C-alpha cells in the first residue's frame, strides 16, 4: 500500500463524488502512486531500528483507543504481550516522539522509561530470563502524523479518521516492534468514538458497547497472526452494507463481507455493482490460491480518503471502489497479509502478486469486466515497465527505507506482476502454476517469505529450475528487444534467427527463456514457441505458408520490445528428396523431388560400386519450375550387394553441386553372356562378355573346320567386359567361331569375316 495525499487531494476529492472504475488503468498507480508525489519524508531518511527488539517475540496486542473523525488525535492504551527469546534488561519499542506516554507498566508494575526520537526504552531490573512472558502496557496519546492517520471529510458527506501503517508508520500511532519477521499472533482492537460513527478494524466485531457521553466502543478481535503494519482503525460516519462470499471449499458456510462506506444512498447505488463483485472475487481467489485465509473472521472495506487502498488484514481501507482495486486489495489478503514479505526487499511478494490478482480477476471473471480485455490490461502493464530501461523488482538494500522505491508502481507493482505472468508461461502448465501459489500459501501461512522461498516452492512444485529466471527478471534489470530474421525454407519449413539486444546490458546481458513468435501470413498466422538460450540462435519450424512478418510475444507473456523484423527471403531448395530402391530384376529405380528450381541445366545420375569411384549413369534435363517436381531414372545394377548413387546438379552457369549419396542394398548377379560385333566384320572385332564374377576366361577363335586360330586367357571383370580382337583381315573370308570358357561354362558365337 501507501496512499498519496497533498497535491492530489483535490483530484481525489473530485474523483470520489462519482464512483470511477478505471479498470483499464493498471496497477500501482491507483493504489500507491502516492509515493511518486511524496517528496522527502524526513522520517524515512535516518530510520533506525533498535536491535534489542529482536530479544523478544510479540505474542499479542490489545489497543484500546479513542478516535474521532476529522482528527488525527489518538489516546488510550496499548498492551503488548511478548516472550523474551534472550535475557531482557530492557523493553524497547518504537513510538514517535511526538506521541505522549503518560505511564508504562511492565507485568503490572509501573516503570520509569526513557524516550528517544523513535523509541521508548524501559529498563528492567533484574534482567528477565529468556522464556519470560512480559506484558507491557502503555498509556499514551497524541496528534499523529498525517503520514499515518488520515482525517477529513469527502464529497459524499463522509467524515473519517483512518490509520495506514505500511511501511514504517505503525510507530506513528502506537508503540510497536516494526520488524516483519515477528508477526503479532493475535490482537484485540477496541475503538471508542462518537455514537454517530462506526469503527472498522481487523478480525471479528465482538460487540459494540454504549458508553457515557454519547460514545460507543467497537470491540474487534483477530486470532490470526498479523504483521506490525496490519492493526488498523477506520472511524467514520459510515453506513454499513454487507454481502457474503460462498467459497466452494467451505460450503455451505459463507464469509461475511462488511462494507463501511459514506452514508449516502446515491453513493452506495453508484458503487454497489462493484461492491457486489467482492464475493465473486473471494470465491475465485479461494479456488485459485486456497481458501480465503481469514474465512473464520470476515472481509470488508472501510472508506477513507487515504489516496488509494490499504490491504488491512480482513478490512481494506480504501478511498474508492474500482473493480481492480477491490481485486488488488483482496488479493493482498493472501499475498501480503497471510504471507508477508520477510523484508521490504521482497515487497514483490505483496505488490507484484496483488497486481497479478487484478489481472487474474479480469482473466478469470470476464463477465465482471465486460469492457476490460486481459491482454490489453497486461499490455498496459508492460508499457509502463518498458518506459524506462532499468530497475529491478528486488529492492536493493540501499533503498530499503525509501518508500518511493519500495512502492515503485513501475517496478514493484507492474514489473512485479508482469514477471509472475512470465513465470506462469515458463511453466507451460496452469495446474502447476496455481498449485505453486497454493503450496506457497500453505507453506508460509501466518508467516513471512522471501523471493527465494517462493522460487523454491515454484521449483519443487514444477520440477523446473528458475535460477536464470529470477536472476534475469527479479534481481536483474531491463528487458530484451528482439530482432528477428525469418527465412522461408521451402517447401515445408521456416527458420527464425532470434537476436536480442538488452536495455541494461551491464547488469543483465541476456534474457534466456521461452518466447512466442507469431508468423503472419495471408494464408493464416502461425504461433510458434522457442526456448532461447543464446544470441542469434536459429529455430526451424514446420511451415508451408508464405510469411509476411513476425510478431514477437503476441500474447504479452514476457516483458520485451520488438526491434527489426527482417524477411530473409527464400532459400531455394533444389532437391527436396532423393531416394532409390531395386526391383527383383536388379533394376535400380531412382526418384528425386525438387522445388524452386532456378537455372538448373540437368541432373547427372552417377553410380558407384564401391561408394568412392562414381561413373556417369545417365542425364535428365531439368524442368526449372517452382512447383514440386518428381524425376525418375532406372539403372541396371551390376553384380554386388551394395550400389551407390548420387546426383550431380549442373546449373546453367556451369556450377554444380552434389546430392547426398544413397545406398541400395541389393544382391545382384549377372548372366554369363557372349556377344560379338560387328557381324559380319571386316577387320576389328569386339567381344562382349558379361559374367557374374571376375575370373580368368579363355578366349578362343576357331575356323569353320574347328582349327584353333587364336587362344588367350584373360582376367575379366564381373559384369560387362569388352575385348577388342583386332586384325581379322589377316584371316580369309568365311565363317568363324568365337568361344569362351570359364567356371560358368562354355559359350560360342558364329560370325562372318567379309
Where on the chain is the footprint of Zn ion (CB under 5 A)? 31, 351, 354
CB of 308 to Zn ion, least distance (A): 8
Backbone angles phi, psi at 347, to 5 degrees: -55, -20
Is residue 341 within 8 A of residue 448, CB to CB? The reply is yes
How many beta carbons lie within 10 A of that of residue 533, not counting itself? 10
Q: Which of 174, 159, 217, 221 lies closest to 192 in space, CA to CA?
A: 217
CB of 349 to Zn ion, least distance (A): 11
Q: Which is nearer to Zn ion, 349 or 728 (CB)?
A: 349
CB of 413 to Zn ion, least distance (A): 7
Q: Which is nearer to Zn ion, 221 or 415 (CB)?
A: 415
CB of 84 to Zn ion, least distance (A): 34
Q: Which residue is nearest to Zn ion (CB)?
A: 354
Q: What is the dihedral of CA 123, 126, 129, 135, to 10 degrees?
A: -50
Is residue 173 within 8 A of residue 61, CB to CB? The reply is no
Q: Which is nearer to Zn ion, 31 or 263 (CB)?
A: 31
Q: Which is nearer to Zn ion, 440 or 515 (CB)?
A: 440
Q: Which residues of 228-253 are buried (b: 16+ CB within 10 A; e: fewer)?
A: bbbbbbbbbbbbebebebbbeebeee
Distances (CA, A) of 215 to 69, 193, 580: 13, 5, 100
CB of 1 to Zn ion, least distance (A): 5
With cell 584373360, the residue in question is 714
Which uninterrupted H or E stretch holds 91?
strand 88-94
Q: Which is nearer to Zn ion, 23 or 351 (CB)?
A: 351
CB of 346 to Zn ion, least distance (A): 14
CB of 238 to Zn ion, least distance (A): 23
SS3 label, residue 374 = helix
Which string of DSSP letters, residue by residue, matches 278-337? HHHHHHHHHHHHSS-TTTTS-EEEEE--SSSEE--TTSEEES---HHHHHHHHHHHHBTT
Q: Which is nearer to Zn ion, 1 or 728 (CB)?
A: 1
Q: Which is nearer to Zn ion, 354 or 622 (CB)?
A: 354
CA 561 to chain centre: 15
C-alpha cell of residue 628: 514440386
CB of 341 to Zn ion, least distance (A): 11
CA–CA dist 497, 438 (Å, integer): 38
Q: Which is nearer to Zn ion, 351 or 604 (CB)?
A: 351
CB of 475 to Zn ion, least distance (A): 21
Cis link prior to 491 (omega < 30° from 0)?
yes
Q: Which is nearer to Zn ion, 31 or 185 (CB)?
A: 31
Q: Which is nearer to Zn ion, 137 or 419 (CB)?
A: 419
CA–CA dist 102, 76 (Å, integer): 10
CB of 37 to Zn ion, least distance (A): 17
Residue count of the chain, please give it.
754
Amino acid at each position: 500500500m501507501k496512499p498519496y495525499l497533498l497535491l492530489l487531494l483535490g483530484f481525489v476529492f473530485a474523483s470520489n463524488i462519482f464512483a470511477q472504475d478505471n479498470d483499464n488503468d493498471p496497477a500501482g498507480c491507483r493504489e500507491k502512486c502516492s509515493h511518486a508525489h511524496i517528496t522527502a519524508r524526513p522520517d524515512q531518511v535516518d530510520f533506525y531500528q533498535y536491535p534489542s527488539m529482536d530479544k523478544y517475540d510479540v505474542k499479542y496486542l490489545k489497543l484500546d483507543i479513542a478516535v474521532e473523525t476529522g482528527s488525527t488525535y489518538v489516546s488510550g492504551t496499548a498492551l503488548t504481550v511478548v516472550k523474551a527469546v534472550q535475557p531482557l534488561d530492557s523493553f524497547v519499542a518504537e513510538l514517535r516522539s511526538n506521541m505522549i506516554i503518560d505511564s508504562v507498566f511492565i507485568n503490572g508494575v509501573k516503570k520509569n522509561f526513557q524516550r528517544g526520537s523513535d523509541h521508548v526504552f524501559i529498563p528492567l531490573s533484574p534482567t528477565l530470563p529468556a522464556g519470560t512472558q512480559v506484558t507491557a502496557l502503555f498509556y499514551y496519546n497524541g496528534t499523529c502524523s498525517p503520514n499515518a492517520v488520515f482525517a477529513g471529510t469527502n464529497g459524499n458527506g463522509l467524515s473519517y479518521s483512518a490509520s495506514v501503517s505500511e511501511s514504517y508508520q505503525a510507530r506513528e500511532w502506537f508503540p510497536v516492534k516494526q520488524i516483519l519477521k515477528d508477526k503479532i499472533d493475535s490482537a484485540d482492537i477496541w475503538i471508542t468514538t462518537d455514537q454517530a460513527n462506526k469503527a472498522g478494524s481487523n478480525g471479528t466485531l465482538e460487540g459494540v458497547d454504549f458508553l457515557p457521553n454519547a460514545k460507543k466502543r467497537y470491540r474487534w478481535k483477530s486470532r490470526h497472526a498479523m504483521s506490525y503494519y496490519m492493526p488498523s482503525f477506520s472511524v467514520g460516519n459510515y453506513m454499513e452494507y454487507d454481502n457474503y462470499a460462498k467459497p466452494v471449499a467451505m460450503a455451505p458456510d459463507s464469509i461475511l463481507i462488511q462494507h463501511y462506506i459514506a452514508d449516502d444512498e446515491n453513493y452506495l447505488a453508484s458503487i454497489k455493482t462493484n461492491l457486489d463483485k467482492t464475493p465473486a472475487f473471494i470465491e475465485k481467489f479461494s479456488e485459485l490460491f486456497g481458501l480465503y485465509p481469514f474465512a473464520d473472521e470476515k472481509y470488508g472495506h472501510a472508506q477513507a480518503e487515504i489516496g488509494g487502498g490499504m490491504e488491512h488484514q480482513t478490512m481494506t481501507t480504501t478511498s474508492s471502489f474500482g473493480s481492480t482495486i477491490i481485486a488488488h486489495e483482496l488479493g493482498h489478503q493472501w499475498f501480503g497479509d497471510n504471507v508477508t514479505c520477510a523484508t521490504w526487499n521482497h515487497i514483490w511478494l505483496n505488490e507484484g502478486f496483488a497486481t497479478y490478482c487484478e489481472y487474474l480477476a479480469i482473466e478469470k471473471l470476464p463477465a465482471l469486466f465486460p469492457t476490460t480485455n486481459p491482454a490489453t490490461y497486461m499490455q498496459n502493464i508492460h508499457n509502463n515497465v518498458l518506459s524506462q530501461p532499468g530497475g529491478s523488482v528486488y529492492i536493493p538494500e540501499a533503498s530499503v527505507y525509501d518508500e518511493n522505491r519500495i512502492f515503485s508502481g513501475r517496478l514493484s507493482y507492474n514489473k512485479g506482476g508482469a514477471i509472475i505472468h512470465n513465470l506462469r508461461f515458463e511453466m507451460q502448465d496452469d495446474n502447476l502454476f496455481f498449485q505453486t501459489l497454493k503450496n506457497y500459501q500453505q507453506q508460509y501461512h501466518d508467516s513471512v517469505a522471501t523471493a527465494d522461498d517462493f522460487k523454491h516452492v515454484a521449483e519443487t512444485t514444477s520440477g523446473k529450475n528458475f535460477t536464470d529466471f529470477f536472476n534475469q527478471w527479479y534481481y536483474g534489470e531491463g528487458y530484451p528487444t528482439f530482432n528477428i530474421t525469418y527465412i522461408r525454407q521451402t517447401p515445408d519449413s521456416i527458420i527464425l534467427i532470434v537476436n536480442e539486444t538488452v536495455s541494461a546490458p551491464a547488469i543483465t546481458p541476456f534474457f534466456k527463456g521461452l518466447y512466442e513468435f507469431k508468423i503472419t501470413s495471408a494464408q493464416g498466422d502461425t504461433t510458434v514457441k522457442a526456448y532461447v538460450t543464446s544470441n542469434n540462435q536459429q529455430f526451424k519450424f514446420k511451415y508451408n505458408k508464405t510469411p509476411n512478418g513476425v510478431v514477437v510475444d503476441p500474447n504479452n507473456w514476457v516483458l520485451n520490445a520488438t526491434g527489426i523484423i527482417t524477411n530473409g527471403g527464400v532459400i531455394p531448395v533444389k532437391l527436396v528428396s532423393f531416394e532409390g530402391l531395386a526391383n527383383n530384376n536388379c533394376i535400380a529405380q531412382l526418384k528425386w523431388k525438387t522445388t524452386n528450381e532456378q537455372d538448373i541445366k540437368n541432373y547427372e545420375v552417377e553410380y558407384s560400386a564401391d561408394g568412392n569411384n562414381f561413373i556417369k549413369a545417365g542425364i535428365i534435363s531439368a524442368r526449372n519450375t517452382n512447383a514440386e517436381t518428381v524425376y525418375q531414372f532406372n539403372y541396371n545394377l551390376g553384380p554386388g550387394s551394395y550400389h551407390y548413387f548420387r546426383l550431380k546438379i549442373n546449373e546453367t552457369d556451369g556450377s554444380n553441386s552434389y546430392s547426398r549419396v544413397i545406398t541400395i542394398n541389393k544382391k545382384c548377379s549377372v548372366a554369363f553372356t557372349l556377344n560379338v560385333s560387328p557381324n559380319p566384320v571386316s577387320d576389328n572385332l569386339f567381344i562382349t562378355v558379361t559374367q557374374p564374377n571376375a575370373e580368368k576366361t579363355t578366349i578362343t577363335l576357331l575356323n569353320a573346320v574347328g582349327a584353333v586360330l587364336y587362344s588367350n586367357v584373360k582376367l575379366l571383370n564381373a559384369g560387362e567386359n569388352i575385348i577388342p580382337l583386332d586384325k581379322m583381315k589377316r584371316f580369309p573370308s568365311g565363317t568363324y567361331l568365337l568361344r569362351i570358357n570359364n567356371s560358368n561354362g562354355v559359350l560360342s558365337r558364329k560370325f562372318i569375316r567379309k
